[in-house]
Amino acid sequence: KPDHHPCVLSSWDDYFLKVRTTGGEVPMTQPSIVLRDIGLKFPKQRGLIRLLLGLFKKQKSNEFVALDGVSLEIQKGEVVGIIGRNGSGKSTLLRVIAGIYPPDDGEVFAAGDISLLAGLGTGFSQHQTGRENALLYGSILGHNEREMNDKIDEIIEFSELGAFIDEPLRTYSAGMKARLGLAVASAINPNILLIDEVLGVGDPNFREKSKKKILDMVKGASTVVIVSHSFGLMTDICDRVVLIDRGKIEFVGEPQDAIKQYYELQE
């Protein structure tokens, strides 16, 4: 496991920008992801009754704090898990790292290509086939059609979709979508792989196969960040686990210690 030391980031800005733009290799001596004092708010959903009441009495706030002062450094080749209660900010944090949600405060540095597997078939077209979705997803990450065609056999083999690879995605079960998503991401082998609950879907054999694939990717120097409620998975494959509660990081450390802290929060 790599050492984790605080470090000065001001001289790294150009480095991260260059590596993320070119998709180049990330030196082992440099972190793959750095979050610095991240803050993010969302407007609260307000129904008609609450809206009318709000006209007559002062509301405390019409914003929900999703992330509050989050700072974290993740090294190249690490597998880091993120746990927390529902609504704690886990999935939001992944989307900040992926660049989907720009933070209101703080800075995000992520070096290299990023693949986000969030939900089931997120980013895929329901009307296109599994094969077409694989080619499209690869092109979004900068891989041309020839490169993806070279990988399609590997994708089909891992996903175990067989002839279903040429069927529309709308005909897929939840497990099939998860298989396709992970198969494409692992074939592309991004510098950074972000996974949101996808590995908790599917039969036991596929879940075990997914674990092995993730470990193979780490050996290839990919950085993996996983959000999951499967604490067994966290213990099996994560180097560290981050506990988030109400948008704040409460603990970062060994998986078993983080899980213990999680249960203490429930008391």
pLDDT (tens digit per residue) in 118-177: 755 556 888 999 999 988 877 776 778 888 889 999 999 988 899 999 999 999 987 788
pLDDT > 80? residue 91: yes
The per-residue pLDDT for range 230-245, each reduced to its tens digit, is 898 889 889 999 999 9
* Higher local confidence (pLDDT), 28 or 103: 103
> Do 42 and 66 contact (CB within 8 A), yes or no?
yes
Cβ(92)–Cβ(68) under 8 Å?
no
Q: How confident is the model at residue 259 (pLDDT cuts 50, 70, 90)?
A: very high
Spatial separation of the C-alpha atoms in residues 107 and 69, rounded to whole Å: 11
pLDDT for residue 88: 93
- pLDDT greater than 50 at residue 113: yes
